[in-house]
Structure 1
Amino acid sequence: MKNLIKVLGIFMLVVFSATAIMSCNNDDDPADNDFFAGTYNGSIKYFDGDTTKTVDNGKVFVTKIASGTKYNFAFSDGIADLNGVEFQKEGDNVLVSVGSSATSYIRIDNNTLKMLYVKDGKTWTANCTR
């Protein structure tokens, strides 16, 4: 009887895990979710005054942090991360960074990430899709 309970417990754990993994997809909308995590693939670039790094097939892992309006951007290929960027919702499914200007702009939705962000002499750019 104990073995049956163990087998059923493991089976339920596997079913729950598979369901949780399959429910995460690219249709998640960063503007409408309380929690968001997604990977965008495409062209990324970083400049810090001394070095420039350009990657045509890079990745940006985007997460919405606990505040609900701030996002973190983790770049692949050794590019410095960009954390705590504040956003506001624009339209139904689009987020635009607060304080956007001609030299600082991030636009994100469930399919695309467009970025030109300048801070402390460093520049991040991204043109990516999911």
Structure 2
Amino acid sequence: MAEKVEKIVYFCTHGGEDCERASICFAMAGAALALDIDTTVALQGKAVYLALEGYTAHVPEVGGFAPISKLVGDFMEFGGKLLVCKPCIEERKIEDERLIEGAEITAGGTLNLLALESDAHLVY
């Protein structure tokens, strides 16, 4: 019998306007990856800007965390899954091709199923 894979999803709703919450979200997600947990970050609302190519380079460091650009980059490099809310990017007139490599566009139905399938979910 196969061992159960633990899954966690972080719903991030803040970008550069609240860089502490955004940083905490990606720091926690990175820690989950280090524990071999199947980890997803779902960006909603203003957080979708974090998936915009070049955006994180201008977000200030806070709370003793690494720069958000490093936190997001490491998250992607180490196998994290980044989902971006389609209605949220449409509202902000962000074209799909402007998102960072590896970001996947999704909507409410998928996010609800993901939350139900995960062992835990946190909102930042």
TM-score normalized by the length of structure 1: 0.24
Instruction: Name the one with the larger helix percent.
Output: 2
Larger Rg: 1
TM-score normalized by the length of structure 2: 0.24
